[in-house]
Amino acid sequence: MSTHTPSEPADAAAAPLVDLQALVVAVRRRRRLWCCMALLGLLVGAAVAVLMPPPPTAVTTVLVAHQADQPNDPGTLIRTDVGLLHTTRIAGKALQALGSPEKPEDFMRDYGGIGLSNNLLQITVTAGSDAEATARAKALADAFVADHVRRIREAADAEAKTLLDQRDRMQAELAQVNKAIGDSSPQSGPKASANMESLFTRRAELGSRITDFGRRAAEARIGTPRLIAGTQVVDDARAVRHSLPRSTVTNAGVGLVLGLVLGLAVAAVGAVVADRPVLRREIAANLGASVIAELRRTPRRSAGPWRRRRTRAARTRLTTTLARTVRGSAEPVSLLELGCARTAGVIAVDLAGALTEEGPAPVVIVDGLPGRRLAHRRPEPGDPTVVDGESAASLSEQERRLGVGSVAPGSAWTDLQYLGTRTVLVVRAGHGSTAWLHTVARQLADLGIAVIGVVLIDPDPRDRTDGTLWDASHAAHHGHGEQTARRNGTDRPRPERPSWARVPDIDQEAR
């Protein structure tokens, strides 16, 4: 491991805008939020399926033949049919067939069409009952087929009429040409011969065009019966059966996914906005002190025997580490908590008991926690003596003091120096923001209280970052280096390496 600590400008330049590792850990720690959101989405989806069932629905399928059908048609013709289906003319014809006084505009809101392919149109109708929905779907399909057939016939008749009109004009012109040929005098000469030849040529051309127009008019009418026969209802109107269990499961699954996504998004945004460090390296860097031990937060509810054994083993290791750290200190030592007052009190009682056993002087706990948690609790046999801040002045010099206080927002900073000039911070991961951790480090440095280590409570079990500071540059930045330099009698802070052993989390030791 490198022993060089980069300067603050370099750290600021190299720091990413969003630390993905810290973001993932923060979102994972808020799993209660997004799990509750997912469960809420599941319940809402199931409730919607049960309390708001779909209305009675009927469907029918119509095969639509088009005169301009092409194999590579991108669906333009069937989309046109869908648009024509949603018109007041077809809706009015269907209502007229049903004998309903409902307005076509209102009926159009109860049905819709979708193109299944280039020639298949599916019509979906909703109504008050299955029978009514089926009847309306059948009437709507018949009205659409009748309208489509009418449009085909009108288009064919219009095309045939245009071609026959052209043929009639050509026949009238042919009659004039024939009359001109019959009225011409049998004169000889080059000019008369040329005129007769042009008349005969014109007559032949007109005859050919008249025949062509007649053939095209006949073909226009020939294709109409094929299109009319090809447009038909291929799937009779039927009611759609809704399965309540299936719809409930489907809606619940959709609600579960949406709730989970929303919960993850809210947790991620909240983690970025709150800016609460959760990794060891972040907490150590912001406080300017090494993480010397980790401990799961003391559970409020009863746990299984295996969990209680693991918790006791972790507390024993933590107590041994803190006792080793505090034992050689000639100055009073305190435990200052941030977000874990109950756990800090338990650690203080265990540490005082361990120091008392090592003796010779008994250890007295000076309770400076909010609400005097330790001073007002019911003592158990073998527990150390606990006094409040007012009674601490009456303690004799032979009794060793172990102060317990808080650096949470609203704490009295001036009272901390009476708890001890050296302190171990007991911090719950993800509780304090980056700005508040900086405030704690700065205030302790201004009060001349040296931070000898950090105990991290409720850490992330998958955290593999290093929370150990290997030189005194961070401590110098917060004022710890100046205090060390004064004790050494020099102007330059002397780097110090931690001499303690870091106690791993119980889950990490098991791995």
Under DSSP, the state recorded for 6 is -
Distance of CA 377 to the CA centre of its chain: 45
Distances in Å between the Cα of 462 and the Cα atoms of 45, 289, 458, 504, 508 are 34, 21, 12, 12, 8
Domain ranges, ordered by start, for the chain? 57-239, 277-510
Distance CA 478, CA 404 (A): 22
Distance CA 138, CA 154 (A): 24
HSE at residue 138, side-chain half, CA atoms within 13 A, is 12
Distances in Å between the Cα of 470 and the Cα atoms of 19, 107, 277, 278, 285 are 23, 78, 20, 20, 11
One-letter amino acid for residue 354 of the chain: A
Phi, psi of 177 (to 5 degrees): -65, -40
pLDDT tens over the chain, length 511 residues: 333 444 444 444 455 666 788 888 888 888 899 999 999 999 999 999 999 888 999 999 999 988 777 777 788 889 999 999 999 999 999 999 999 999 999 999 999 999 998 899 999 999 989 999 999 999 999 999 999 998 888 888 787 788 788 888 888 888 887 887 777 666 656 776 777 778 788 888 888 888 887 777 777 666 677 788 888 999 999 999 888 899 999 999 999 999 999 999 999 998 888 888 888 888 998 898 888 888 876 555 555 566 677 777 888 888 888 888 787 777 888 899 998 888 888 888 888 888 887 766 778 888 888 877 676 666 666 677 787 766 666 666 667 888 898 999 888 888 888 888 889 999 998 888 999 999 999 999 999 999 988 999 888 888 888 877 765 444 444 444 444 444 444 343 433 434 333 444 433 333 3
SS (H, E, C) 213-251: HHHHHHHHHHHHHHHHHHCEEEEEEEECCCCHHHHHHHH
Distances in Å between the Cα of 229 and the Cα atoms of 187, 223, 232 are 61, 10, 7
Residue 56's nearest CA partner among 132, 111, 137, 123 is 132
Residues 6+ apart with CB under 8 A from 176: none
HSE at residue 81, side-chain half, CA atoms within 13 A, is 32
Verdict on whether the full-model pTM lies above 0.75:
no
Residue pair 510/42 in contact (Cβ under 8 Å)? The answer is no
Distances in Å between the Cα of 232 and the Cα atoms of 9, 131, 434 are 78, 22, 72
HSE at residue 334, side-chain half, CA atoms within 13 A, is 25
**Furthest CA-CA distance within the chain:** 159
User: Tokens at residue 44, please?
Assistant: 């809402």
One-letter amino acid for residue 349 of the chain: V
Under DSSP, the state recorded for 361 is S
Distance CA 403, CA 449 (A): 13
One-letter amino acid for residue 117 of the chain: S
Distance CA 367, CA 194 (A): 134
In 128-277, alpha helices (H): 130-183, 190-230, 244-274
Helix (H, G, I), strand (E, B) or coil at 61: strand
SS (H, E, C) 382-449: CCCEEEECCCHHHCCCCCEEEEEEECCCCCCHHHHHHCCCEEEEEEECCCCCHHHHHHHHHHHHHCCC
- What CATH number labels 277-510? 3.40.50.10710
Count of beta carbons in the 10 Å neighbourhood of residue 48: 16
Q: What angle do CA 138, 141, 144 make, to 5 degrees?
A: 150
Distance CA 142, CA 123 (A): 11
Phi, psi of 493 (to 5 degrees): -65, 140
Residue 447's nearest CA partner among 421, 410, 411, 482 is 421
